[in-house]
Amino acid sequence: MSSIILGIETSTKICSVAISDGNKLLALKEEGGEYSHSEKLTVFIQEILKGAGLKLEEIDAVAVSKGPGSYTGLRIGVSVAKGLCYALEKPLIAVDTLQAMALGGSKTEKFDLYCPMIDARRMEVYTALYDDENKMVEMITAKIIDENSFVEVLNEKKIIFFGDGADKCEAILGSNSNAIFSEKGLPSAEYINQIAIQKFDKQEFEDVAYFEPYYLKDFVATTPKKLL
């Protein structure tokens, strides 16, 4: 018996919502641009429910991209997901953001390794490495990219880099013939759901009361300097 999953992805500037019935995508709504998830997210949920011909009460679980990524974006997505789970008494499924990106990246072309990158500060990215079976081969980390990044792996294997953090790395890593850069593989609730359905079948649910996003780094608020 298939399960209807509502998926939420807000880890970057992309606001993405999907509804799937098992492995079948029923509806998808996503939009990039500036961070405006607080205004878009609930509207997108209403629109895809209508597009799929479903009522909110008919979903079986809510899946959410858990991070790493934008502190504010993750907080909004997780807050909405938890609120829905509370109200509907449905289970919450958390999916690694980078793993879902790697799954999306693998749908286009085949490479030895997939390296999703989410933009952090300056030359820093949130990243990890996955193989063509979507298994993690290098742990999630906040990595400052320089000319020595991934050098040992790139000497032996082709890596495709993608995500909103990949652009700023191409000038540094792009001279290596084993480093491929793509504009595809951006975060999408479609791939959150594809992983979530596997977790649903295994009953891998989160504690709605205590679940928090995976920020990877502590949030640091900056205070503007006073004018002299």
88 with 23, same domain: the answer is: yes
Q: What is the pLDDT of residues 1-59, one digit of tens each?
A: 679 999 999 999 999 999 999 999 999 999 987 778 888 999 999 999 999 999 999 99
Provide the domain limits for residue 157: 109-181
64 with 163, same domain: the answer is: no
89 with 158, same domain: the answer is: no
Residue 216 belongs to a domain: no
Q: What is the pLDDT of residues 161-216, one digit of tens each?
A: 999 999 889 989 999 999 999 988 899 999 999 999 999 999 999 999 999 999 98
168 with 63, same domain: the answer is: no
What is the total count of domains within the chain? 2
User: β-strand 124-130 against 24-31: which pairing, if any?
Assistant: unpaired
194 vs 159: CA distance, rounded Å: 23
50 with 26, same domain: the answer is: yes
Please name which of 99, 95, 91 lies closest in space to residue 115, comparing C-alpha atoms: 99
30 with 142, same domain: the answer is: no
Residue 221 belongs to a domain: no
Q: Does pTM top 0.85 for this prediction?
A: yes
25 with 58, same domain: the answer is: yes
What confidence score (pLDDT) does residue 221 get? 42
Q: Interhelix angle for 71-88 vs 37-52, to 10°? A: 40
Q: Evaluate if residue 228 carries a pLDDT over 50.
A: no
85 with 134, same domain: the answer is: no
Residue 143 belongs to a domain: yes
102 vs 90: CA distance, rounded Å: 27
Count CB atoms within 10 A of the CB of residue 22: 15
Residue 9 belongs to a domain: yes
Residue 28 belongs to a domain: yes
19 with 75, same domain: the answer is: yes
- Domain with residue 76: its CATH number is 3.30.420.40
What confidence score (pLDDT) does residue 33 get? 78
